[in-house]
Protein backbone atom coordinates (compact mmCIF):
# COMPACT_ATOMS: atom_id res chain seq x y z
CA UNK A 1 0.00 0.00 0.00
CA UNK A 2 1.22 3.52 -0.79
CA UNK A 3 2.34 5.83 1.99
CA UNK A 4 -0.16 8.41 3.11
CA UNK A 5 0.72 12.10 3.46
CA UNK A 6 -0.89 14.28 6.11
CA UNK A 7 -3.57 16.62 4.79
CA UNK A 8 -2.14 19.35 7.01
CA UNK A 9 1.49 19.11 8.10
CA UNK A 10 0.53 20.11 11.67
CA UNK A 11 -2.08 17.34 11.87
CA UNK A 12 -1.56 13.63 11.57
CA UNK A 13 -3.63 12.05 8.83
CA UNK A 14 -5.51 8.89 9.80
CA UNK A 15 -3.75 5.78 8.51
CA UNK A 16 -5.14 4.71 5.17
CA UNK A 17 -7.33 7.80 4.72
CA UNK A 18 -6.24 8.24 1.12
CA UNK A 19 -3.33 7.11 -1.03
CA UNK A 20 -0.60 9.49 -2.19
CA UNK A 21 -1.94 9.59 -5.78
CA UNK A 22 -5.44 10.51 -4.58
CA UNK A 23 -4.05 13.11 -2.19
CA UNK A 24 -1.84 14.58 -4.94
CA UNK A 25 -4.66 14.80 -7.49
CA UNK A 26 -7.03 16.40 -4.97
CA UNK A 27 -4.37 18.93 -3.92
CA UNK A 28 -3.61 19.85 -7.52
CA UNK A 29 -7.33 20.16 -8.27
CA UNK A 30 -7.82 22.46 -5.29
CA UNK A 31 -4.82 24.60 -6.24
CA UNK A 32 -6.06 25.05 -9.80
CA UNK A 33 -9.55 25.99 -8.59
CA UNK A 34 -8.05 28.55 -6.22
CA UNK A 35 -5.96 29.94 -9.07
CA UNK A 36 -9.05 30.35 -11.25
CA UNK A 37 -10.72 32.34 -8.47
CA UNK A 38 -7.62 34.51 -8.12
CA UNK A 39 -7.55 35.39 -11.83
CA UNK A 40 -11.01 36.91 -11.47
CA UNK A 41 -9.52 39.24 -8.87
CA UNK A 42 -6.43 40.06 -10.96
CA UNK A 43 -8.12 40.78 -14.29
CA UNK A 44 -9.58 44.18 -13.30
CA UNK A 45 -6.04 45.39 -12.59
CA UNK A 46 -5.28 44.89 -16.30
CA UNK A 47 -8.23 46.92 -17.60
CA UNK A 48 -5.83 49.32 -19.37
CA UNK A 49 -3.19 46.74 -20.31
CA UNK A 50 -4.30 44.56 -23.22
CA UNK A 51 -1.10 42.49 -23.28
CA UNK A 52 -1.19 41.86 -19.53
CA UNK A 53 -4.90 40.98 -19.72
CA UNK A 54 -4.22 38.58 -22.58
CA UNK A 55 -1.47 36.88 -20.54
CA UNK A 56 -3.79 36.38 -17.54
CA UNK A 57 -6.53 35.08 -19.84
CA UNK A 58 -4.13 32.60 -21.47
CA UNK A 59 -2.92 31.34 -18.11
CA UNK A 60 -6.53 31.05 -16.96
CA UNK A 61 -7.43 29.04 -20.06
CA UNK A 62 -4.53 26.67 -19.38
CA UNK A 63 -5.65 26.21 -15.78
CA UNK A 64 -9.26 25.62 -16.89
CA UNK A 65 -7.96 22.86 -19.15
CA UNK A 66 -5.91 21.44 -16.28
CA UNK A 67 -8.99 21.47 -14.01
CA UNK A 68 -10.80 19.42 -16.64
CA UNK A 69 -7.94 16.92 -16.84
CA UNK A 70 -7.78 16.59 -13.07
CA UNK A 71 -11.57 16.24 -12.80
CA UNK A 72 -11.45 13.48 -15.41
CA UNK A 73 -8.70 11.73 -13.45
CA UNK A 74 -10.73 11.94 -10.23
CA UNK A 75 -13.73 10.48 -12.07
CA UNK A 76 -11.55 7.68 -13.48
CA UNK A 77 -10.10 6.89 -10.07
CA UNK A 78 -13.59 6.78 -8.58
CA UNK A 79 -15.03 4.58 -11.31
CA UNK A 80 -12.09 2.16 -10.99
CA UNK A 81 -12.36 2.06 -7.20
CA UNK A 82 -8.96 3.73 -6.78
CA UNK A 83 -10.19 6.84 -4.96
CA UNK A 84 -8.91 5.58 -1.61
* pLDDT, one tens digit for every residue, the chain (84 residues): 455 555 555 555 556 678 889 988 999 999 999 999 999 999 999 999 999 999 999 999 999 999 999 999 999 999 999 888
Angle (CA) 84-21-67 rounded to 5° is: 105
In a domain, 74, yes or no: yes
In a domain, 37, yes or no: yes
Which helix (H) or strand (E) segment is 7 a member of?
none
Domain that holds residue 60: 33-79
Report whether 22 contacts 5 (CB < 8 A). no
Q: What's the total number of domains in the chain?
A: 1
Q: pTM (2 decimals)?
A: 0.76
pLDDT of residue 9: 56
Say how far apart CA 22 and CA 4 lie, in whole Å. 10
Amino acid sequence: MATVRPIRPDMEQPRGAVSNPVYDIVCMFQSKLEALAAYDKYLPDFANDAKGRKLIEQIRADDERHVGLLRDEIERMCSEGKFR
